């Protein structure tokens, strides 16, 4: 589960919601899917929080690439 990208997680979540809304599943299955869905949405939230703003410019210094902070004029 932790290895999933945001995109993959959201796609799985969408699938689960569709399945649950369709309603043709047993109560046990519903509970299981609900749990999975909540796990996925928590994971997505976490991924969103983890991102920090980072705008850098790559400078070629003697063949090596260096990253520096960038401010647009």
**Among positions 2, 3, 55, 64, the unique one binding another protein when judged by CB under 8 A:** 55
C-alpha triplet 71, 51, 11: angle, nearest 5°: 130
Question: What is the rounded distance in angstroms from the CA atom of residue 50 to the CA atom of residue 9?
Answer: 15
Question: What is the rounded distance in angstroms from the CA atom of residue 45 to the CA atom of residue 36?
Answer: 14
> Considering the rule CB under 8 A, would residue 61 count as an interface residue with another protein?
no
- Residues at the contact surface with another protein, assessed by CB under 8 A: 5-7, 10, 13-14, 16-17, 20-21, 23, 27, 30-31, 34, 37-38, 41, 44-45, 48, 51-59, 65, 67, 70, 72-73
């Amino acid at each position: 589960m932790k290895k999933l990208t945001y995109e993959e997680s959201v796609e799985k979540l969408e699938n689960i919601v569709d399945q649950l809304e369709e309603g043709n599943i047993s109560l046990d299955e519903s509970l299981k899917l609900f749990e999975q869905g909540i796990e996925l949405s928590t994971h997505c939230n976490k991924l969103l929080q983890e991102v920090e703003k980072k705008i850098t410019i790559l400078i070629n210094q003697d063949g090596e690439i260096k990253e520096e902070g960038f401010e647009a004029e």
